[in-house]
Amino acid sequence: MKTIDDLTSQDLKGTRVLVRSDLNVPLDDARTITDDGRVRASVPTIKSLSDAGAKVIVVAHLGRPKGAPEDKYSLRPVVARLSELLGKEVAFAEDTVGESATAVVEGLGDGDVALLENLRFNPGETSKDENERGEFADKLAAFADAFVSDGFGVVHRKQASVYDVATRLPHYAGGLVGSEVEVLKRLTEDPQRPYAVVLGGAKVADKLAVIENLMQTADRLLIGGGMAYTFLKAQGHEVGSSLLDAEKVETCKGFLESAKERGVEIVLPVDTVIAPEFSADVETSVVPVSEIPADQMGLDIGPESQALFAEKLADCKTVFWNGPMGAFEMAPYAAGTKAVAQALVDVTSGGGLTVVGGGDSAAAVRQLGFSDDRFGHISTGGGASLEYLEGKTLPGIQILAD
| Identified catalytic residue from 374, 383, 391, 392 | 383
The 3-state secondary structure of the chain reads CCEHHHHHCCCCCCCEEEEECCCCCCECCCCCECCCHHHHHHHHHHHHHHHCCCEEEEECCCCCCCCCCCHHHCCHHHHHHHHHHHCCCCEECCCCCCHHHHHHHHCCCCCCEEECCCHHHCCCCCCCCHHHHHHHHHHHHCCCCEEEECCHHHCCCCCHHHHHHHHCCCEEECHHHHHHHHHHHHHHCCCCCCEEEEECCCCCHHHHHHHHHHCCCCCEEEECCCCHHHHHHHCCCCCCCCCCCHHHHHHHHHHHHHHHHHCCEEECCCEEEEECCCCCCCCCEEEEHHHCCCCCEEEEECHHHHHHHHHHHCCCCEEEEECCCCCCCCHHHCHHHHHHHHHHHHHHHCCCEEEECCHHHHHHHHHCCCCHHHCCEECCCHHHHHHHHHCCCCHHHHCCCC
374 as an active site residue: the answer is no
Task: Report the Cα–Cα distance between both ends of the chain, in Å, rounded.
Answer: 6
Q: Which residues are annotated as a binding site for substrate?
A: 22-24, 38, 61-64, 120, 157
**Type of residue at 205:** A
Q: CA 124: distance to chain centroid?
A: 23
| Identified catalytic residue from 359, 376, 381, 396 | 359
Distance CA 23, CA 151 (A): 8
Q: Which residues are annotated as a binding site?
A: 22-24, 38, 61-64, 120, 157, 207, 298, 329, 358-361
| Identified catalytic residue from 16, 20, 38, 81 | 38
38 as an active site residue: the answer is yes
| Identified catalytic residue from 203, 253, 317, 392 | 203
Q: Which residues are annotated as a binding site for ATP?
A: 207, 298, 329, 358-361
203 as an active site residue: the answer is yes
**Contact (CB, 8 A) for 105 and 57:** yes
- Helix axis angle for 359-367 and 335-349, nearest 10°, is 90
Residues designated catalytic: 38, 203, 359, 383
